[in-house]
Amino acid sequence: MITRTIASVTDDGSVLNTSDPYGNGFTYQVVASFLIQVTGITVQQLQRTVMPLGAGLLALVVFVAFRALLGKPSTALLATLLLFMQPDFLFVTWRGSHEKITWALALTLLYLLAKGFRDRGFASLSGLYYFVAFAFVCCNAFFASSFLTGLAFSFIAGLVVFGIRRRIHRDGAQDPIMIRFIQRTMYVTLATGVLLYLFFFYVYPPSVSLLFAFDNLVDRVAALFVQYGTASSSNPYSFVTATWIDSRIYLVLIGVSLMFAGFSVLVWLPSMFNMIFRRSFDIKNSPSLLLWLMYPVFALQVAFALIADRTSAGGNLQPGCSRR
């Protein structure tokens, strides 16, 4: 699908007036069309050779973002290696589709947020944050809306956590500072909703069709929090049993991801408990706070996405055949 869209954009010279538009966004098609015009290679050569190699550059973005979030280069390197051990991540980033650019932009947003948390000053970064967020939306509006909504709810959760802390520890000197900063960061993130509105209704009209890809109001509201596409009448997980010779091999491949998910719960629960009930809060650990706040929100996104898949409400999260 995306290859046909790239060829159509290249031939027609437009992302709007093209015979085969891509409703989710246009960044990847524009970049691919530019490379085709500059290098003279075909769209098939670009998709099969050049773009998969470009995924290697994503590792640098991952490492820089993780270093900003975790603080230590060694820990960031380990986190990068663990991420590239995930089969689903490798599949979507090494194939010829927009995911490699989408992930790079999402991680850049996390880097800017972590830097703002570390310096406790986001005003100087807000302009760059909006620029990257808009590029993110233009790349894939569904993924971006899901991600930005998750960030906004993470900051709301942060206000709740520090509100509880203030009731328990009324003498916390650093808590008011973090509350004010989280509030400012939340407002900046909520303002990206204006970018989404402009993208859907003014910048890229073909994306409006995505707003009507849901059967009822509940699905449309869920679309802001869970990224999924048109409803499917079949069980999306039947793809595994239908195409894999032995489905147990698939379970082995995703076993690492499941193991990490289980361990992460065991790490997050006591850490969040300590953060709430410990009297002193080390403001130097504020970038790590961003991770602890994001964890439950994005875990809920995954849970709701699984429910949407199991109830045939979504057809864009199928294992091994993502259509984003």
pTM for the full model?
0.83
Phi, psi of 206 (to 5 degrees): -55, -25
d(CA 318, CA 240) in angstroms, rounded, equals: 9
CB 19 within 8 A of CB 8: yes
Does 31 fall in a domain? no
Does 298 fall in a domain? yes
Round to the nearest angstrom and report the end-to-end CA distance of the chain: 10
Q: Which structure tokens are listed for 188?
A: 């900046």
The owner of tokens 């530019």 is 34
CB 132 within 8 A of CB 105: yes
Amino acid letter for position 143 = F
Does 37 fall in a domain? no
Does 40 fall in a domain? no
Q: Helices 87-94 and 247-277, interaxial angle, to 10°?
A: 110
Does 146 fall in a domain? yes
DSSP element (H, E) containing 3: helix 2-12
A 10 A CB-CB count for 22 gives 22
Does 106 fall in a domain? yes
Residuewise pLDDT in 10s, the chain (324 residues): 788 888 888 878 888 887 788 888 898 888 889 989 898 888 888 888 888 887 788 999 999 999 998 888 999 999 999 898 888 888 888 887 888 899 999 999 999 988 887 776 667 788 899 999 999 999 999 899 989 999 999 999 988 888 888 887 766 666 777 788 888 888 888 999 999 999 988 999 888 877 766 555 456 555 555 554 444 445 666 766 777 777 788 788 888 788 888 888 888 888 888 777 776 666 556 667 888 889 999 999 888 777 666 655 545 444 333 444
The domain containing residue 250 runs over which residues?
A: 57-310
Number of domains in the chain: 1
Does 105 fall in a domain? yes
